[in-house]
Structure 1
Amino acid sequence: MITLTDIKQHLRLDLNPDSETDPELQRMLDAAMDHVSQYLNRPVPWTDESSSEDVFPASVQAAVLLIVGDLYENREGATNGSVITANPTVERLLHMYRVGLGV
């Protein structure tokens, strides 16, 4: 699983374990995990039927970290003169793990 320490390293933040930003970062992690789960149409991590082990591929973890980074950098409600677009890297990292697409 992705920890707050992983997120702080990704965002290049102070690794203090009791930082006042921890609750905000946890909410961002929860939102990113929810977004990835919705996009993939499965829980994250998911259980591999053949081995009954939880699966959380590195590319899915990277996508979660990218989403958290986007949420952290764009945490203000609105900015003037900026256009925020979807990160195509997130979609490329996740697409191969989507299920239930009807194909």
Structure 2
Amino acid sequence: MYSWGQCTWYVKSVAPWVGTYWGNGNQWGYSAAADGYRVDSSPEVGSVAVFAAGFAGANAVYGHVAYVESVNGDGTITISQGGMGFATPAGPNYRTMSASGLQFIHRY
């Protein structure tokens, strides 16, 4: 399980355009949409991946967020992330995984 506080801090450090008061990781998609950002299921380099609570190792209550480093030809994405439970809690920690089931917040 990944800690929500450090995951949001890490993402804000690599994507300073994200909102200041978007709540827990699993709330970021809703909050970003309310602020006018595009939120969908299509990953792009530089977008923010939003994990629902309990999805793919995310915290069962707070969810998780990560930064999309690459979109790969096989339908996977490579993300960087931080949080408790990682070798480097402050990040970056890299993971390649399926993009299916995630929301993505886009800067533009």
TM-score (norm 1): 0.31
Higher helix share: 1
- Please say which structure displays the higher CA radius of gyration: 1
Greater relative contact order, per chain length (Cα 8 Å cut-off, separation 6+): 2
TM-score (norm 2): 0.30
